[in-house]
């Protein structure tokens, strides 16, 4: 076989391989293009959503919220997320945009998975979720997390005093373990004792009953935040996958001097108040002593 024949064979093989690759790309492109076209027949909004509306239990399982809450949220957000149709294409409606976003928040699925379920492109899903989440925060933050004023602070303080027997308290802090990709420079100095932020006495310092009583009263008042975390966790069931984060967390600064001494003094005043005739509750000593007996057993 001559060199020219070998060259022709090589060229023919290269052309055949190139044609095969082009065919694969065309099929893939056609498949991708067909996904949006099938949205009206196979997308979850058009196919599944009408069926969910007729079954309240399945609706709640799918969205982690009731139909009433979904449509109330739609009422608030629709003016901000509804888009206009153009001469070339029909826009994605506010109801579908909200459904995509709530489904993402309820499951933690990837944009790709959400896109395949709703027969939407990746970039479209990304735009819908980012835009709608921003609108939800803008609308709901004013309703459920308004900036506190003097009267609100007074009402919060009165509620803590009346319901949990803890005076001069404006809130409770707690934490919930959520799996994330570990950010850089993260420390473990959460909730340090400050003049405006109380924490229980450490276990190594519980050398008298008054400190145990303080810890009991402190934990009793903090229960509101624990209950809130449990409710949210049970309702929304966060994903088991590690949540990515780009944040750089800094260790909280160590405090010293008069600031720490003042914080200790504030906690001591609460401790004395909780064991005084004015500030004690009838059942606290019995509760503490029962706890001690369990430890001894």
Which helix (H) or strand (E) segment is 216 a member of? helix 209-236
For residue 194, give the DSSP letter: B
Q: Are 191 and 205 contacting, i.e. CB atoms less than 8 angstroms apart? A: no
pLDDT of residue 255: 54
For residue 243, what are the β-bridge partners? 180
132's CB contacts (< 8 A; 6+ apart) are: 77, 81, 97, 98, 100, 101
pLDDT of residue 24: 52
Return the structure tokens found at 273.
């108040």
pLDDT of residue 75: 95
Task: List phi, psi (to 5°) of 197.
Answer: -140, 105
For residue 180, what are the β-bridge partners? 243
For residue 203, give the DSSP letter: G
What residues of the chain score a pLDDT lower than 70?
Answer: 1-37, 175-191, 229-230, 232-259, 292-297
Task: List phi, psi (to 5°) of 57.
Answer: -65, -45
Q: What is the rounded (10 degree) CA torsion for 276, 280, 285, 291?
A: -120
Return the structure tokens found at 199.
């924490």
For residue 208, give the DSSP letter: S
Q: Is 250 left (phi over 0), alpha (psi -120 to 50) or beta?
A: beta
d(CA 213, CA 249) in angstroms, rounded, equals 35
Positive or negative CA dihedral for 79, 81, 82, 86? positive
pLDDT of residue 240: 53
pLDDT of residue 144: 83
Q: Are 174 and 226 contacting, i.e. CB atoms less than 8 angstroms apart? A: yes
pTM: 0.58
Long-range contacts formed by 197-200: CB under 8 A, 24+ apart: 197/173, 197/263, 198/266, 198/267, 198/270
**Domain spans, the chain:** 38-144, 150-296
d(CA 183, CA 63) in angstroms, rounded, equals 30
H helical segments located in the chain: 3-37, 39-42, 44-47, 49-53, 56-63, 67-81, 94-107, 111-118, 122-144, 150-164, 209-236, 258-274, 284-296
Among all chains, which residue has been given the structure tokens 């076209």?
37
The alpha carbons of the chain give a radius of gyration, in whole angstroms, of 30
Return the structure tokens found at 48.
């599944």
pLDDT of residue 185: 47
Q: Are 178 and 244 contacting, i.e. CB atoms less than 8 angstroms apart? A: no
pLDDT of residue 93: 93
Q: Are 49 and 99 contacting, i.e. CB atoms less than 8 angstroms apart? A: yes
């Amino acid at each position: 076989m001559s060199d020219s024949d070998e060259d022709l064979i090589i060229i023919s093989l290269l052309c055949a391989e190139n044609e095969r690759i082009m065919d694969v790309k065309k099929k893939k492109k056609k498949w991708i293009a067909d996904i949006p076209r099938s949205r009206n027949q196979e997308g979850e909004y058009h196919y599944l959503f009408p069926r969910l509306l007729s079954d309240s239990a399945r609706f709640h399982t799918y969205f982690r919220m009731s139909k009433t809450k979904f449509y109330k949220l739609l009422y608030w957000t629709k003016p901000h997320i509804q888009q206009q149709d153009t001469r070339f294409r029909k826009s994605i409606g506010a109801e579908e945009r909200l459904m995509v976003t709530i489904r993402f928040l309820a499951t933690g699925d990837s944009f790709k998975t959400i896109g395949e379920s709703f027969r939407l492109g990746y970039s479209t899903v990304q735009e819908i979720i980012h835009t709608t989440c921003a609108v939800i925060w803008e609308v709901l933050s004013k309703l459920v997390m308004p900036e506190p004023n003097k009267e609100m602070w007074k009402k919060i303080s009165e509620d803590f005093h009346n319901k949990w027997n803890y005076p001069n308290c404006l809130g409770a802090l707690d934490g919930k373990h959520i799996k994330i990709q570990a950010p850089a420079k993260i420390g473990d100095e959460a909730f340090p004792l400050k003049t405006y932020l109380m924490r229980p006495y450490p276990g190594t310092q519980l050398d008298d009953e008054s400190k145990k009583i303080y810890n009991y009263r402190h934990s009793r008042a903090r229960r509101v935040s624990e209950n809130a975390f449990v409710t949210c966790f049970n309702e929304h069931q966060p994903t088991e996958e590690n949540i990515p984060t780009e944040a750089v967390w800094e260790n909280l600064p160590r405090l010293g001097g008069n600031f720490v001494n003042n914080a200790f003094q504030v906690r001591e005043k609460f401790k004395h108040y909780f064991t005084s005739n004015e500030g004690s509750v009838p059942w606290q000593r019995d509760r503490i002593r029962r706890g001690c007996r369990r430890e001894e057993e």
